[in-house]
Structure 1
């Protein structure tokens, strides 16, 4: 069982605690690790913030933009102890979000402070995706 103390009145254990009580401690609980993000749009920018504490942003984070999609990849590593147990998440984290219309991929800026990665994408006028094609007579 977990060493985390529950609030009085909490009747059901969380899913991770149930899983960990059924499997050996050396088996990872789940193969994927979620990367929690929040986003916001204002008049000039689309901003994505990702919660990634405990990493070195110069070595452990990769931010890329390709074909209207922003991808954040991060990896957190740790030395494992034989007799200890960890409830922290280690491993690879990936999250991809679709950029809004008008996003200018050339002006993307990323910064990291206090465990939060902030990616800012400048917004311009959305390009009109509809293009009229003139139909010629084949006669």
Structure 2
């Protein structure tokens, strides 16, 4: 299954989570992700509302890591309060065994980025014979 790249721990994440922290020390990530398998593919869906996919969202594969990068610019309105998150966001996911990185496809609709990662059939393991050394 897919694994999220671990983040560095902090000495107070439980306290900040109890206080509702959505800041840099909490376990909340600005890019929410869900994954599931469907008909020979791993589906990764990311909430990225209000973005232009051609300009603001970038996907790369380096080895077995899929990197999702996005950037949301701040619009100045003279407001006094905002709960929107602005800036650059990155999420790295380790691809599962059998993932075909050359065939990954992505689309963006209604604020959701959907990434489809084909999974090759992982056949039975191959037994390797062990030869007996002569004396």
- Give TM-score, length-normalised by structure 1: 0.67
Provide the residue aligned with 1:37 in structure 2.
Answer: 33
1:94 alignment partner, one of 90, 93, 96: 90
Counterparts of 2:61 and 2:67, CA distance in 1: 6
Structure 2 contact 30–85 (Cα < 8 Å) conserved = no
2:75 alignment partner, one of 71, 74, 79: 79
Provide the residue aligned with 2:114 in structure 1.
Answer: 118
Where structure 1 has 5 or more consecutive residues not aligned to the other structure, the ranges are: 1-12, 20-28
Q: Relative contact order (C-alpha < 8 Å, sep 6+): which is higher? A: 2
Q: How does 1:42-53 map to 2 (within 5 A)?
A: 42-53=38-49
Q: Which moves more between the two structures, 114-123 or 38-47?
A: 38-47
What is the root-mean-square deviation of aligned Cα atoms in Å?
A: 3.0
- Give TM-score, length-normalised by structure 2: 0.69
Tell me how far 1:67 sits from its aligned partner.
Answer: 1.1
